[in-house]
Amino acid sequence: MIPAEFDYVAPETLDEAIRALADGGEDAKLLAGGHSLLPLMKLRLAAPALLVDLRRVPDLAGVRANGDIRIGAMTTHSALVRANAGLASVAAATIADQQVRNRGTIGGSLAHGDPASDLPAVVLAAEGTIVARGPGGEREIAAAEFFRDYLETTLAPDEIITEIRMPGTEGWSFGYEKFNRRREDWAMVAVCALVRIESGACADARIGLTHMGSTPLRATAAEAALRGQPLEAGAIAAAAEQAAEGTSPPADLNASADYKRHLARVLCRRALERAAG
Amino acid sequence: MSGNGNGSRYVGQRLRRKEDPPLITGKGVYTDDMTLPGMLYAAFVRSPESHARITSIETSAAAARDGIHAVLTAEDLDLAAGMPMAWVPPGVEINTPEHWPLARGEVKHVGQAVGVVLGEDKYAVVDATEDVVVEYDPLPVVVDPEAALEDGSPLVHEQFGTNRTHQWGLGSEDMDVAWQEADIVIERRIVNHRVHGAPIEPRACLAEYRAGYLTLWSTTQIPHLTRSFLAGSMQMSEDRIRVVAPDVGGAFGTKLNHYPEEAVACAAARRLGRPVKWTETRSEHMTTTTHGRDQIDRVKMGLKRDGTITGLHIDVLADLGAYYQLLTPIIPCFTAFVASGCYKIPRVRTDITGVFTNKFPTDATRGAGRPEATHVVEVMVEQAAAEIGIAPVDIRRKNFIPKEDFPAEVAVGVVYDSGDYHGTLDKLLEKIDFDELERERSELRERGIYRGIGYSTYMEICGLAPSRIVGPHGVGIQGGFWESAIVRVHPSGSVTVFTGTSPHGQGLDTSMAQIAADRPGTTPDVVEVIHGDTNTGPYGMGTYGSRSLAVGGESVARAAEKVQDKAKRIVAHMLEAAPEDIEVAGGKFTVRGSPDKGMTLAEVSGAAYIPENLPDGMEPGLEETTLYDPEHPAGSTSCATSLSTTAGRRSTPC
């Protein structure tokens, strides 16, 4: 598998990287872990003229949980797992295999915008924020505004994700359920659920759906059905029944649209049950 | 373990695999690891069309790129023959198309090689393939084997006027009697879909032509046969060709072949006077390395009300793809040979129709035709049991060939030498508690979890033999099915075994060392097993069809036995005892009744290589060769698995 010819730079600072990306124009691509981009290049489905490698840019990796959770864009999935930062770490532990987790990064995964990847729906459900820097400075993009379409985000071509911020999880519990045929595969469907429990009842619920559309989605109907309800089997099952409301998942080689909707309901119930403890 | 009278200490023991340390520490030598001075890399220009006429090929832009040495198409290759197909069935008409390593005039499947780019840089040659402009005039395509036989279907090979390749049948001529004797006849259409072996190491080859000698390193299961094929296509004397299979990373049957890329690499190396290496990409592998199965079986089984099977007929439609690789059209025949499974069925017949489609050829993959038969027979037995309303275990027991019937000739005309099918099933039922599994199944069902419980029996032709049945005047494969071995004891007492098989990860270095070590009373760690090089070992048939240990291992055992016999005669001579009184025990040759009198293998071989005191007329040295042609290898086993599913949680409790 041999990619088309390309140029390569590995700048030492974020500003240099931004400049290199801008100078490279639309044929330039950022290289983080490379576990989505490089396979596409080797299949010659992508042929960027310039790769701007972020590996030498300092201060882009690391996880800080101090009130809110801040995850550097170049944090590998393995490092995120080790940081033990709740839902994101649990989801990251299910990504592909150890080799991929050792190289793949959260920033790369979000920027790639693949709705079958684990972390986009997690960041969406957690109501996280993507911090990006470009020639015009830094901006924060709410996850709900970030994913535009299949493999498309609202990140500008000359912007670089520097950090992902997620609200603190105190008072919240969570569950993550994913279904695939082999453990290393992308999710056929995955569901992440965050619930805040007060006096045995669900004060708030945030449910993210992976691979149920061209972007990660929230299961808003199920969330609404659960709010204010006691977190017990009946209410969970009833809410989970609505997990696929409003979705139109694309059928693929592994699953029909109907089967994906079925999976969303089953996995939602299991994720909520896990969150309810 | 103590000796078994034959000095067997290592056979049967669990040993760490001798071959693993280099393989798992990156010290193996695979074909792609090799580099020769002046070597060129090859990249193929492949058809994106399933079926098309080639109207033009423009190579000049690619050839003009930096680092590109040549761009070759079909007419540039000096080959006397296309790709070989080894089946010439007596009395059967078979439509055999020419199959050239680079397409001539038409392409008939996606991925078919049209040209090859050669250059010094492995990246540059791939880039340059994009500059080779091939114009195609698309032709109608057929990929469905049933549609391919309909009137008016597009024809894969116009000259035959049909997509039917051949028809071949085996078994009873009077199936009508089976249906008349039956109380119930069930019919099913069973699809065995196309599969791919996909070993970890894709294919690769490296060809060097120097001073009239050709060397090919290749990811092959059959180095000796490949040399014979190249002698024909390259019009060279076989002694001037060396084929080497270095470390090979798995095959599953897909490397039991001679592929177009090997022929192109050899022809290009000779034409250009430079070594040529090609390494397959995984995408190429999926499109242009042999596929398997792809049968549609229309099956009919007749039964008495009590479950006794009166007859089985399998009508096989075999999708062979667009061309033949080495064994393509014969693979479904193997379905016929094992169609009776473990069962005593008075009438069994298989009728096979082969069909061309615009797909890559099928060929040997993981069992090559036999698992298809097992699938058919076992599915039908289960279906019949359900239809009649008896337990699957009971219908099997009722129809198994009884132990006392062996050797048993089954209705397809094959004699099973031995077997105990009731015994293997009983053993399975001892190990697997089906009642408990079924009780759990009921419990799980209440929780919305569905468990399936299944098991299967099978009868296999492991080893493919004997030559007189499988060979040219029998089934019609143009080859023999024996295997060779040389066991060479060195003057120091260490041993080198040469085997004609060509292992690719099965652990044969270890198991053959175990076999060779026992008889001369040495240890596997001082037995080196050499394979896969036509210039070192004897001619051999290669590794396929579960034959390497069954046939090749037996060959090693027989050569080692000869070494032991000679060693005993030397020991007897030197210790003034009778050869029949010499035993092998505890790593020594000793005289029965006088355990203190003995010689180590090193002492024996020392005496053999410095022949001052050998028995009269004995040749010096300690080395023996065997070419073993087996009779009827066979095996049978049963296994069980079960699966729990809801939306997804799996478990296999047994």
Distance between CA atoms of residues B406 and A82, nearest Å? 62
Answer whether A1 sits within 8 Å of B127, measured CB to CB: no
Q: Report the residue of chain A nearest B285, measured CA to CA.
A: A1
pLDDT for residue B545: 84
Residue B369: is its pLDDT beyond 50?
Answer: yes
Which residues of chain A neighbour B126 with C-beta distances below 8 Å?
2
Which residues of chain B neighbour A262 with C-beta distances below 8 Å?
647
Could you give all domains of chain B from N- to C-terminal order, each with its CATH number? 34-139+199-251+255-288 (3.90.1170.50), 164-196+292-434 (3.30.365.10), 482-628 (3.30.365.10)
Domain finish residue from A124, A148, A166: A166
B265-282 residue pLDDT tens = 999 999 999 999 999 999
Q: What is the DSSP letter of B247?
A: B
Is A43 an 8 Å CB contact of chain B?
yes
Q: What's the full length of chain A, in residues? A: 277
A214-250 residue pLDDT tens = 999 999 999 999 999 999 999 999 999 999 999 999 9
pLDDT band per the 50, 70, 90 thresholds, residue B8:
low
Residue B401: is its pLDDT beyond 50?
Answer: yes
User: Residue B645: phi, psi to the nearest 5?
Assistant: -135, 135
pLDDT > 90 fraction of chain B, expressed in percent and rounded: 77
Lowest mean pLDDT among B361-375, B617-631, B633-647: B633-647
Nearest by CB to B127, which of A1, A5, A43? A5
Q: Is A70 found in the same domain as A42?
A: no
Hey, is B178 helix, strand or coil?
helix
The stretch A161-167 carries a mean pLDDT of 97
Distance between CA atoms of residues A51 and A4, nearest Å? 12
Q: Is A186 found in the same domain as A229?
A: yes
pLDDT for residue B631: 72
Nearest by CB to A4, which of B127, B283, B648? B127
Domain annotation covers residue A91 = yes
Q: How many domains does chain A have?
A: 3
Is B450 an 8 Å CB contact of chain A?
no
Residue B299: is its pLDDT beyond 70?
Answer: yes
CA distance B122 to chain A (A): 8
* Higher-confidence position of A43 and B138: B138
User: Residue B92: phi, psi to the nearest 5?
Assistant: -120, 130
pLDDT band per the 50, 70, 90 thresholds, residue A65:
confident
Q: Give the domain extent around A268.
A: 172-276
Residues whose CB is less than 8 angstroms from the CB of residue B14 and which lie 6 or more positions away in sequence, other chains included: none
The domain that holds A15 is classified in CATH as 3.30.43.10
Domain finish residue from A166, A183, A198: A166
Among A residues 217-276, those touching chain B with beta carbons less than 8 Å apart: 262-263, 266-267
Q: Report the residue of chain A nearest B646, measured CA to CA.
A: A266
pLDDT for residue A28: 95
The stretch B15-20 carries a mean pLDDT of 92
CA distance A96 to chain B (A): 17
Distance between CA atoms of residues A177 and A90, nearest Å? 10
Is B351 an 8 Å CB contact of chain A?
no
Domain annotation covers residue A58 = no
Domain annotation covers residue A88 = yes
ipTM: 0.77
The domain that holds A193 is classified in CATH as 3.30.390.50
Q: Is A73 found in the same domain as A153?
A: yes
A71-89 residue pLDDT tens = 999 999 999 999 999 999 9
The domain that holds A105 is classified in CATH as 3.30.465.10
Q: Is A256 found in the same domain as A201?
A: yes
pLDDT band per the 50, 70, 90 thresholds, residue B7:
low
Catalogue the E-assigned strands of B508-591.
Answer: 527-531, 582-585, 588-591
Nearest by CB to A2, which of B122, B646, B647? B122
Q: What's the full length of chain B, in residues? A: 654
Answer whether A43 sits within 8 Å of B648, measured CB to CB: no
Q: Is A103 found in the same domain as A43?
A: no
B372-391 residue pLDDT tens = 999 999 999 999 999 999 99
Mean pLDDT of chain A: 95
Q: Which two tokens stand for residue B371?
A: 């698992």
Q: Is A141 found in the same domain as A84?
A: yes
Which residues of chain B neighbour A266 with C-beta distances below 8 Å?
646-648
Q: Which two tokens stand for residue A224?
A: 């609404």
The stretch A256-269 carries a mean pLDDT of 96
Answer whether A2 sits within 8 Å of B281, measured CB to CB: yes
B127-155 residue pLDDT tens = 999 999 999 999 999 999 999 999 999 99
The stretch B96-110 carries a mean pLDDT of 97
Which residues of chain A neighbour B646 with C-beta distances below 8 Å?
266
B221-245 residue pLDDT tens = 999 999 999 999 999 999 999 999 9
Nearest by CB to B281, which of A1, A4, A179? A1
pLDDT for residue B4: 39
Domain annotation covers residue A80 = yes
pLDDT for residue B479: 85
Residue B92 exposed, middle or buried by CB count within 10 Å (0-12, 13-18, 19+): middle
Q: Is A271 found in the same domain as A177?
A: yes
- Provide the 10 A C-beta neighbour count for residue B38: 10
Residue B536: is its pLDDT beyond 70?
Answer: yes
B411-421 residue pLDDT tens = 988 888 888 89
Q: State the number of CA atoms in the 13 A half-sphere of A231 facing the CB.
A: 26
Q: Is A87 found in the same domain as A159?
A: yes
Mean pLDDT of chain B: 91
Task: State how beta strands B408-409 and B415-416 pair.
Answer: antiparallel
**What is the helix, strand, coil percentage profile of chain A, to 5?**
35, 30, 40
Q: State the number of CA atoms in the 13 A half-sphere of A256 facing the CB.
A: 3
Q: Is A159 found in the same domain as A182?
A: no
Domain annotation covers residue A2 = no
Distance between CA atoms of residues B385 and B301, nearest Å? 11
Q: Is A185 found in the same domain as A266?
A: yes
Answer whether A263 sits within 8 Å of B647, measured CB to CB: yes
pLDDT for residue B637: 52
Residue A66 exposed, middle or buried by CB count within 10 Å (0-12, 13-18, 19+): exposed
Which residues of chain B neighbour A263 with C-beta distances below 8 Å?
647-648
The stretch A7-24 carries a mean pLDDT of 96
B63-91 residue pLDDT tens = 999 999 999 999 999 999 999 999 988 88
Is A147 an 8 Å CB contact of chain B?
no
Q: Would you say the C-alpha torsion A134, A135, A139, A144 has a positive or negative sign? A: negative
Answer whether A267 sits within 8 Å of B647, measured CB to CB: yes
Is A212 an 8 Å CB contact of chain B?
no
Helix (H) or strand (E) holding B294: strand B291-303
Following DSSP, what letter does each residue of B604-652 receive, concatenated? HHHHHHS-SSPPTT--SS-EEEEEE--S---EEEEEEEEEEESSS----
B249-259 residue pLDDT tens = 999 999 999 99
Distance between CA atoms of residues B149 and B376, nearest Å? 22
Residue B652: is its pLDDT beyond 50?
Answer: no
CA distance A262 to chain B (A): 8
Residue B586: is its pLDDT beyond 90?
Answer: no
The stretch B450-457 carries a mean pLDDT of 82
Which residues of chain A neighbour B648 with C-beta distances below 8 Å?
179, 263, 266
Domain finish residue from A111, A131, A166: A166
Is B283 an 8 Å CB contact of chain A?
yes
**What is the helix, strand, coil percentage profile of chain B, to 5?**
30, 30, 40
Distance between CA atoms of residues A31 and B120, nearest Å? 28
B457-487 residue pLDDT tens = 888 887 777 787 788 888 888 888 899 999 9
Answer whether A1 sits within 8 Å of B123, measured CB to CB: no
CA distance A210 to chain B (A): 16
User: Residue B483: phi, psi to the nearest 5?
Assistant: -145, 155
CA distance A266 to chain B (A): 7
Domain annotation covers residue A237 = yes
- Provide the 10 A C-beta neighbour count for residue A196: 17
CA distance A268 to chain B (A): 12
Domain annotation covers residue A1 = no
Which residues of chain B neighbour A43 with C-beta distances below 8 Å?
283
Answer whether B281 sits within 8 Å of A4, measured CB to CB: no
Q: Report the residue of chain A nearest B649, measured CA to CA.
A: A179
pLDDT for residue B649: 52
Alpha-helical segments (H) within chain A: 14-24, 37-42, 77-83, 87-92, 98-103, 106-112, 118-125, 143-146, 220-226, 233-240, 257-276
How large is the greatest C-alpha to C-alpha distance in chain A, in angstroms? 61
Q: Is A183 found in the same domain as A155?
A: no
- Provide the 10 A C-beta neighbour count for residue B485: 32
Catalogue the E-assigned strands of A123-248.
Answer: 129-134, 137-142, 147-149, 152-153, 160-166, 172-179, 189-198, 201-210, 217-218
Q: Report the residue of chain A nearest B281, measured CA to CA.
A: A1
Is B420 an 8 Å CB contact of chain A?
no
**CB-CB contact of B540 with B499 (8 Å):** yes
Is B448 an 8 Å CB contact of chain A?
no
Residue A55: is its pLDDT beyond 80?
Answer: yes
| Mutation site for A-interface testing, chosen from B126, B130, B278 by largest number of A Cβ within 10 Å | B126
Q: Report the residue of chain A nearest B284, measured CA to CA.
A: A1
Answer whether B123 sits within 8 Å of A179, measured CB to CB: no
Strand partners, B588: B585, B600
Q: Is A257 found in the same domain as A217?
A: yes
pLDDT for residue B632: 58
Residues whose CB is less than 8 angstroms from the CB of residue B362 and which lie 6 or more positions away in sequence, other chains included: B194, B290, B291, B292, B293, B294, B318, B319, B320, B321, B328, B331
Distance between CA atoms of residues B33 and A107, nearest Å? 35
Residue B315 exposed, middle or buried by CB count within 10 Å (0-12, 13-18, 19+): middle
Domain annotation covers residue A270 = yes
CB pairs under 8 A between A and B: 20
- Provide the 10 A C-beta neighbour count for residue B62: 23
pLDDT for residue B472: 86
